[in-house]
Chains A and B, each alone.
Chain A
Amino acid sequence: MTIAEWKLRLLGSAHYWIIRSRFRAGLGRMSAGRQAVSVGRTSVSERVRAVLSLARKFGWVAAGSLLLWVALEVGARVASAIPGAPFATLTNRVTSGSYGDLLSAGVGAVATFLGLYWATVGVVASTVYQAAPAEVRSLFIEQRSGTALVRGIVYALNLGLLLLAADTIGVAPPAASLIVFAALCAVATLRLVVLGSQLFNFFDLSQLGRPLPARFRVAVRRAAIGRSAHDGLSQSIAHEEASRIVELYESLTALITSRRYQHADGPTRLARQLLLVAAANASMKNAIPTSSRWWSQQARHQNWLTMDHTRLSMSLATATGPSPELVPDHLWVERSASASLRDLLAAAIAAGGLPQVVAICDSVADAGRLLSARFQVLEALELIAGVQELLLANGPTRPEDANVQGDRRTLNDMAAAERSILLLTNVWLGFISSLESLLRSDLPAIFEKSVSNPHDAYLSGLPRDTTTLLADIGEKIGLEVRSEGHRISPNWWVSHYAARSVSRYVRGTLDLLEQRLAKQPLEIIAGYRAMNRPDLAVVAAVSTLELVNKMQVHISTVQQTFERLHAFRKAETDNSEWVTTEVQIEDALDLRDTISVVLGELLPTIAGPAHNERFPDLYGQVHQNLAERTFEAIIEGRVDTARSLFAVLLSEVDRARNRIMEDLQDRDSQTKVLYSVEPVVAVMELSGYAALFQEVNGEGIWDDVVTMWETLLPAGTGGPAVELLVASVNALDGVFAITTGGLMRSERAQRAREQLRQRGLHSDGRYARPGHQRGATPSQSTVGPITGLILDDLGLYDDLIDVFIAEYLEAKLSTGTELPARTRSVIETLRRSRKKADGSGGSDD
């Protein structure tokens, strides 16, 4: 019989299975033993740290005492060496009768200390922690400093009692024992002094949580690193320890939120501890095997319509349902932390701690970014969910929080509103940095390393599904090596499936984030509007525009990642289906338009008489933003958005001018004029662009723009409004300095030219720049007169204000109205172009 045959026969033997079961149980016990030793070691090291911490605090006093004792001893010895010295009696060895009192006094003192300590602990436990769960009370009682004190006292007490016992049986103890005893008594006294100074910590629940993050770190490391990470019992022990800590935080949160706190420090301290727990979890969880018992288990119920035949027939025959399958819950820590964070921060806000909460929100945003940078976007969203919910529900300080000053309150509210979006922005940025790290990394090498040793798969830092897949492939490759003597599955096959898995993660995450980003900011903004806080709605909307901008900027990274991963696709596999690698930016642009329109609606509601420098200039920021968005909407052909935003800007011209005049009342008149004409020329310039792009696209908002102007300007010619427009243009023409508005207009003109160039419209060759394909360009005669003007004159007619005047305003001017020479030139050029196009003569000259 061969060994293989013998092994097979063994598998049918009951003895084999029983012995195997016992052996595994034995291994489990050994592992538990190792675990206990490890836990004990950790516990000892924590105690040592606590003792050292105490020692540091009374070290100088103890050293002084020691020096005193040394000085006395040296003095006694010196005195004993000198015959007839006055202090010779001090050097004599004492008899039992002389130190009995000292012993009795010392023992009595330390016993009293012990009693006092426990009495204090008992009182606190039965009052402050009366309603606390048993785990929290244990946490309080087992505080390391207290434990160290008790141990010191007990040592002193025991030694004293032994010395007394020795005296009663007539044994003379060595003099050194007395000294040690006295020293222990002294240390116990000093410790009590230190502990007494911390007495008020007994009433602070947040102090109890201080050692918990370190304990959690030890537990999660045990589940992630080394041999214990792959040992079932160690995983269970680590999970139990971690879940105990998570539950303790839940209990502490429940206790802390049930009290009316006068200060926000307690809840925020606990929140920071929870963030440490979340960070420890985030940094280690990728390395924890998917099948580890570290994860909580959750039920997954069968889909009856896709069930396999055996289960379906069995269920129907027995009129029962199949048992749900238990699957790991990878978000168990984040879910609990998120809920506790929400409650803790709510308690902090209630105690007037919005500034601290805003700081915590920044930390949560950082944690969210860290998680998503590690391919843990679901975890990041779970963690920030509670805080977002809180910011929306409790963000604005309630009127009854009278202890918060008015200005500070508004600023805090604004900061909180900004954070409500910033949390999402950070998740997006984290996601992008995870993709950037993918692009930088040597993926084939990572895939190969992961399958060559399944344990390495969990150190690859790839998404969870991919590491699970690679670990599974690695185990199956192990079987190949065992059976065939060498690996069979080729690299290309492994890379295909691994890259496919990463692509699925990227696609799924992108879709999820886009879905969240399309919905959540609008909900948040609507929430603030419903609370009648337009200022906060504006802050959230502006933050959302920043988020959209970041999405636009980084979407190419997503595209590159898809392309990189798609390069691994092999049609020769059995499953070559791939996720859609197309990246749509349209949703983000739609969101940007929607937010811009919302900002347009909010603009009139946030306009104060003047800018208050103690607050962010929301009105000015939104006004500038809307001008930019309107320009973009016009040149990109987003007609509805352009129409809506232009109407807002036109209606806000007077208010903006007045506000500027108010803000600049201490400045010279030229400065006042320069800035106050900007809102006027901005709408004129945008009108010019509307005319240009209507001509280019054949459709646009020009007709609507004209209608809107008609409602403002009286029929016929002249009038104060028309004069204001002309005066504004002339005022700008008379200034030779470079103004901010002028630079912005030049930039916009460049972008408009670029837009035209991308559409194949540019000069017919007279001023063609290098790189232009002359043969492919439309001739001058195929473009409209405004387009021709803009394209031909190399920036001379950058200012579209002149186009607006030529196309609309000129008809409203009184005879003899003065206009800048450049404007006259534009009017004339356009007139000639049109005549030429109509075939009614005219000259190019």
Chain B
Amino acid sequence: MTRDDPFGGMASSRLARTYYVDGGGNRDSKLRNLLREDYGSSSLYLRMFQEDVGHMLPWRSGSSADARFVVTLEGADDSTRQLVLDSLPGRNGPPRILEDGIRDFVEATSRDLTLGPSHFEVVFFSDDAGDLRSFAFEPLMAKSVSRSRRRVIQMVPAEPGLPTRRGIPFVELDPARIITIELPRPLRRALSKAVPLWRAAANQSLRGTDLLIDHTRGYDFKVQQRLIADQLLRSTAKIGWSGRDLLTEATLDPYKVARHLNFVSFQIEVRNAIVAGLQRGLDLAGTKIGFKVKLGLDQVVTLDDVEQAKADLNAGTQHIGALMRIER
């Protein structure tokens, strides 16, 4: 067991498979089609949104060892804290500090959540004596998992002897160890309305070039962009995302701030849903291994902060530039 591989030499309870969507081993076109919907989106707006929504916890400044927010683990001693740190999948290998691990997990999961529920498997590691020593959260590709009341299956590339569903092979997972994270219903509804629009808008913007080349009568690029922006802003008020100001270019400063604050609210709700899912995973792992901790985040923007910012905007008691900088 090393810092880079905290689970070395231990037996894993992992059932899910890891594979690449377009990897050499995956020649199953049905599976590729199913999964590409998640990751192969050609929509400019959707891709930008997925990137932006993940940026909800601040990065460390430069080479500083200190995070700009604090992860609290109530009831955890040093060894439990280390266990939790080891359980988190890092962006580039195991995270060095808890804050990095939580931020990477939240960021990766938030992208999945834009398209539907996100799942991760709680994997336990036991020593030679069969005692549970450690655990890990293993994210699963969102669309590869299908969950019913009693079963959880993962669609995987073809292997001899695997059962299939609608022509796609799958493996059975342990429902008790699969944690599913879902956004609150209003946010899910807002996203299910917005995502097709972002896709459609990106396509229509691309079509604009063809219309220009063809000298289509009456076509006006600026008018088209204004109408697209108008429609997108109108349909995504709950989410608040402004397409990196592409959509709000011709709007007033207070509106830009209000959209920004709405988007920060959205991000906070996504963050809260992910942290709640992680807590469920920790509760499960704690029950098995023998610890009880409560995960929390400090020094992060809360919904109360956003409400206060909205009140400040209305009353004119805060500089507009400062309100635009409220984030994460």
Please report which residues of chain B, range 87-104, place their CB below 8 angstroms from some CB of chain A when the two chains form the complex: none
Determine whether the beta carbon of B211 is less than 8 Å from that of A17: yes
Chain-A contact segment, one of B75-83, B154-162, B200-208, B285-293 = B200-208
Give the distance in Å from the alpha carbon of A11 to the alpha carbon of B208 in the complex.
8
Determine whether the beta carbon of B218 is less than 8 Å from that of A18: yes
Subset of 27 A-B contacts with CB under 8 Å: A2-B193, A4-B197, A4-B234, A5-B196, A5-B197, A8-B197, A8-B200, A8-B228, A8-B232, A9-B204, A11-B227, A12-B206, A12-B207, A14-B211, A17-B217, A17-B220, A18-B216, A18-B217, A18-B218, A21-B218, A484-B255, A484-B258, A488-B258, A493-B316, A572-B319, A572-B320, A573-B253
Chain B neighbourhood of A480, CB < 8 A: 251-252, 255, 258
Determine whether the beta carbon of B316 is less than 8 Å from that of A14: no
Give the distance in Å from the alpha carbon of A418 to the alpha carbon of B326 in the complex.
64
Determine whether the beta carbon of B252 is less than 8 Å from that of A482: no
Please report which residues of chain A, range 552-572, place their CB below 8 angstroms from some CB of chain B when the two chains form the complex: 570-572
Contact of A7 among B231, B317, B320 (CB under 8 A): B231
Q: Is A476 an interface residue (CB 8 A)?
A: yes
Determine whether the beta carbon of B200 is less than 8 Å from that of A9: yes
Dominant secondary structure of chain A at its interface with chain B: helix
Task: Quote the shortest CB–CB distance from A577 to chain B (angstroms).
Answer: 14
- Specify the chain A residue showing the minimal Cβ separation from B318: A572
Number of A-B contacts (CB under 8 A): 111
Task: Quote the shortest CB–CB distance from B156 to chain A (angstroms).
Answer: 33
Determine whether the beta carbon of B193 is less than 8 Å from that of A11: no
Give the distance in Å from the alpha carbon of A785 to the alpha carbon of B231 in the complex.
85
Task: Quote the shortest CB–CB distance from B160 to chain A (angstroms).
Answer: 42
Residue among B205, B313, B318 with most chain A CB within 10 A: B313
Chain A neighbourhood of B216, CB < 8 A: 14, 17-18
Chain B neighbourhood of A488, CB < 8 A: 252, 254-255, 258
- Known contacts A2-B193, A14-B211, A484-B258; is-contact A490 B252 (Cβ 8 Å): no
Chain B neighbourhood of A1, CB < 8 A: 196
Binary B-proximity of A578-610 (CB < 8 A = 1, otherwise 0): 000000000000000000000000000000000
Give the distance in Å from the alpha carbon of A477 to the alpha carbon of B253 in the complex.
11
Q: Is A479 an interface residue (CB 8 A)?
A: yes
- Known contacts A571-B319, A572-B316, A572-B319; is-contact A12 B208 (Cβ 8 Å): yes
Contact of B253 among A2, A9, A11, A574 (CB under 8 A): A574
Binary A-proximity of B169-198 (CB < 8 A = 1, otherwise 0): 000000000000000000000000100110
- Known contacts A490-B314, A574-B321; is-contact A476 B252 (Cβ 8 Å): yes
Binary A-proximity of B248-263 (CB < 8 A = 1, otherwise 0): 0011111100100000
Chain A neighbourhood of B237, CB < 8 A: 483-485
Task: Quote the shortest CB–CB distance from B261 to chain A (angstroms).
Answer: 10
- Specify the chain A residue showing the minimal Cβ separation from B235: A4
Determine whether the beta carbon of A14 is less than 8 Å from that of B251: no
Chain B neighbourhood of A574, CB < 8 A: 253, 320-321
Chain A neighbourhood of B224, CB < 8 A: 11
Chain A neighbourhood of B201, CB < 8 A: 8
- Specify the chain A residue showing the minimal Cβ separation from B219: A17
Determine whether the beta carbon of B197 is less than 8 Å from that of A477: no
Q: Is B230 an interface residue (CB 8 A)?
A: yes
Give the distance in Å from the alpha carbon of A20 to the alpha carbon of B223 in the complex.
12
- Specify the chain A residue showing the minimal Cβ separation from B321: A574
Please report which residues of chain A, range 1-29, place their CB below 8 angstroms from some CB of chain B when the two chains form the complex: 1-2, 4-5, 7-9, 11-14, 17-18, 20-22, 24
Q: Is A489 an interface residue (CB 8 A)?
A: yes
Task: Quote the shortest CB–CB distance from B95 to chain A (angstroms).
Answer: 38
Chain A neighbourhood of B320, CB < 8 A: 493, 572-574
- Specify the chain B residue showing the minimal Cβ separation from A23: B218
Determine whether the beta carbon of A476 is less than 8 Å from that of B317: no
- Known contacts A477-B252, A571-B319; is-contact A8 B204 (Cβ 8 Å): yes
Give the distance in Å from the alpha carbon of A473 to the alpha carbon of B252 in the complex.
7
Chain B neighbourhood of A571, CB < 8 A: 319
Task: Quote the shortest CB–CB distance from B191 to chain A (angstroms).
Answer: 13
Q: Is A767 an interface residue (CB 8 A)?
A: no
Q: A473-B252, A489-B253, A492-B315 given. 8 additional CB < 8 A pairs? A: A2-B197, A5-B200, A8-B231, A12-B206, A18-B218, A24-B218, A480-B252, A573-B253
- Specify the chain A residue showing the minimal Cβ separation from B324: A574
Contact of B204 among A2, A11, A572 (CB under 8 A): A11
Binary B-proximity of A477-518 (CB < 8 A = 1, otherwise 0): 101101111001110110000000000000000000000000
Q: Is B309 an interface residue (CB 8 A)?
A: no
Give the distance in Å from the alpha carbon of A94 to the alpha carbon of B153 in the complex.
114
- Known contacts A2-B193, A14-B211; is-contact A476 B250 (Cβ 8 Å): yes
Task: Quote the shortest CB–CB distance from B218 to chain A (angstroms).
Answer: 3
Q: Is B214 an interface residue (CB 8 A)?
A: yes
Chain B neighbourhood of A484, CB < 8 A: 237, 255, 258
Q: What is the interface size of chain A, counting residues whose CB is below 8 A from a CB of the partner? A: 36
Chain A neighbourhood of B219, CB < 8 A: 14, 17
- Specify the chain A residue showing the minimal Cβ separation from B314: A490
- Specify the chain B residue showing the minimal Cβ separation from A10: B204
Give the distance in Å from the alpha carbon of A21 to the alpha carbon of B217 in the complex.
7
- Specify the chain B residue showing the minimal Cβ separation from A576: B319
Task: Quote the shortest CB–CB distance from A575 to chain B (angstroms).
Answer: 9
Give the distance in Å from the alpha carbon of A489 to the alpha carbon of B248 in the complex.
14
- Specify the chain B residue showing the minimal Cβ separation from A480: B255
Q: Is B136 an interface residue (CB 8 A)?
A: no
Give the distance in Å from the alpha carbon of A17 to the alpha carbon of B193 in the complex.
25
Binary A-proximity of B56-80 (CB < 8 A = 1, otherwise 0): 0000000000000000000000000
Determine whether the beta carbon of A483 is less than 8 Å from that of B252: no
Contact of B254 among A18, A482, A483, A493 (CB under 8 A): A493
Task: Quote the shortest CB–CB distance from A475 to chain B (angstroms).
Answer: 9
Task: Quote the shortest CB–CB distance from A159 to chain B (angstroms).
Answer: 53
Give the distance in Å from the alpha carbon of A737 to the alpha carbon of B38 in the complex.
108
Task: Quote the shortest CB–CB distance from A23 to chain B (angstroms).
Answer: 9
Give the distance in Å from the alpha carbon of A14 to the alpha carbon of B206 in the complex.
13
Q: Is B16 an interface residue (CB 8 A)?
A: no
Give the distance in Å from the alpha carbon of A522 to the alpha carbon of B237 in the complex.
62
Determine whether the beta carbon of A483 is less than 8 Å from that of B234: yes
Q: Is B282 an interface residue (CB 8 A)?
A: no
- Known contacts A12-B203, A12-B204, A17-B216; is-contact A479 B316 (Cβ 8 Å): no
Task: Quote the shortest CB–CB distance from B308 to chain A (angstroms).
Answer: 14
- Known contacts A572-B318, A572-B319; is-contact A489 B252 (Cβ 8 Å): yes
Q: Is B122 an interface residue (CB 8 A)?
A: no
Residue among A11, A22, A477, A492 with most chain B CB within 10 A: A11
Give the distance in Å from the alpha carbon of A488 to the alpha carbon of B233 in the complex.
13
- Specify the chain B residue showing the minimal Cβ separation from A571: B319
Give the distance in Å from the alpha carbon of A11 to the alpha carbon of B255 in the complex.
25
Task: Quote the shortest CB–CB distance from A219 to chain B (angstroms).
Answer: 29
Chain B neighbourhood of A24, CB < 8 A: 218
Chain A neighbourhood of B234, CB < 8 A: 4, 482-483
Give the distance in Å from the alpha carbon of A572 to the alpha carbon of B258 in the complex.
15
Determine whether the beta carbon of A479 is less than 8 Å from that of B233: yes
- Specify the chain B residue showing the minimal Cβ separation from A9: B200
Task: Quote the shortest CB–CB distance from B224 to chain A (angstroms).
Answer: 5
Residue among B196, B200, B228, B232 with most chain A CB within 10 A: B200
Nearest 5 CB-CB pairings of A with B: A21-B218, A12-B207, A12-B204, A492-B316, A489-B254
Chain B neighbourhood of A14, CB < 8 A: 211, 214, 216, 219
- Specify the chain A residue showing the minimal Cβ separation from B234: A483
- Known contacts A8-B200, A9-B200, A476-B250; is-contact A17 B316 (Cβ 8 Å): no
Determine whether the beta carbon of B218 is less than 8 Å from that of A17: yes
Task: Quote the shortest CB–CB distance from B216 to chain A (angstroms).
Answer: 5
Give the distance in Å from the alpha carbon of A8 to the alpha carbon of B313 in the complex.
32
Task: Quote the shortest CB–CB distance from B207 to chain A (angstroms).
Answer: 3
Please report which residues of chain B, range 293-328, place their CB below 8 angstroms from some CB of chain A when the two chains form the complex: 313-321
Determine whether the beta carbon of A490 is less than 8 Å from that of B211: no
- Specify the chain A residue showing the minimal Cβ separation from B227: A11
Residue among B196, B217, B224, B254 with most chain A CB within 10 A: B254
Task: Quote the shortest CB–CB distance from B304 to chain A (angstroms).
Answer: 20
- Specify the chain A residue showing the minimal Cβ separation from B240: A484
